[in-house]
Homo-oligomer: A and B are copies of this chain.
């Protein structure tokens, strides 16, 4: 399990959301309060949309709480749409290619959760990828595989539909393999314009997902932060969240 944050709004220095708030994401890397794991020290990453169509990306295998480069970049870089992720490995190696966010072209993706017994499913899930996306398979995580399936399933045309198809595909594969471990996840993804998030679980126990809106912009997070946790809206199980370029948020059911 991991912790993540995504922001869309007025251009904001990353550090204002990553380091400054009480119980911030960087604090959560050392000591999360919700979620299956307390420590999220198996690498981290930030991705941000700036002057290019494709996002900037900085991923490292060190813990986020003490990385001088992350601190300097977060102090310097300002963006209207960015992702940040602190990783707790569920078994796969700690290497940059297994750190979030993942980027293909202008699409960026990150993830919390786990495909149950993924080590038994990796082969079939990889096999189901189209050839042209297999070249983007750089690591070994379920997260990267979910992203590539999302791209394969038409995220460009219908983001929610692609997410639903991806979930169904993974559930089907698990069933065919005879496994009954639950698939649990939250994800965030974006094309640089719109921000999408999803919360899903096979069983009634999906990882937490929250959002908050204020005059600066919209935050979607795996775990609220701030002294009083005020203003955070929980996103219900099996839901899809869309934040459009004007900052309007819509939450609707996932049909899986």
Question: A73: CB under 8 A from chain B?
Answer: yes
Contacts of A235 in B (CB 8 A): none
Is A179 engaged at the interface, CB distance under 8 Å to the other chain?
A: no
- Contact yes or no, B38 A31, CB < 8 A: yes
CB of A96 within 8 Å of the partner chain: yes
A175 adjacent to chain B (CB < 8 Å): no
A63 close to B76 (CB less than 8 A): no
A54-62, A165-173, A181-189, A241-249: which lies at the B interface? A54-62
A131 to B41, CA, bound (A): 31
Q: How far is the CA of A135 from the CA of B125 in the complex (A)?
A: 13
> Is the CB of A201 closer than 8 A to any CB of chain B?
no
Q: Do A89 and B73 contact each other (CB < 8 Å), given the known contacts A134-B122, A140-B137? A: no
> Which 3 residue pairs of A and B lie closest in terms of their CB atoms, listed nearest first?
A56-B76, A95-B95, A57-B72
Binding site for B on A (CB under 8 A): 30-31, 38-39, 41-42, 48, 50-52, 54-63, 65-69, 72-73, 75-78, 89, 93-97, 119, 122-123, 126-127, 131, 134-135, 137-138, 140
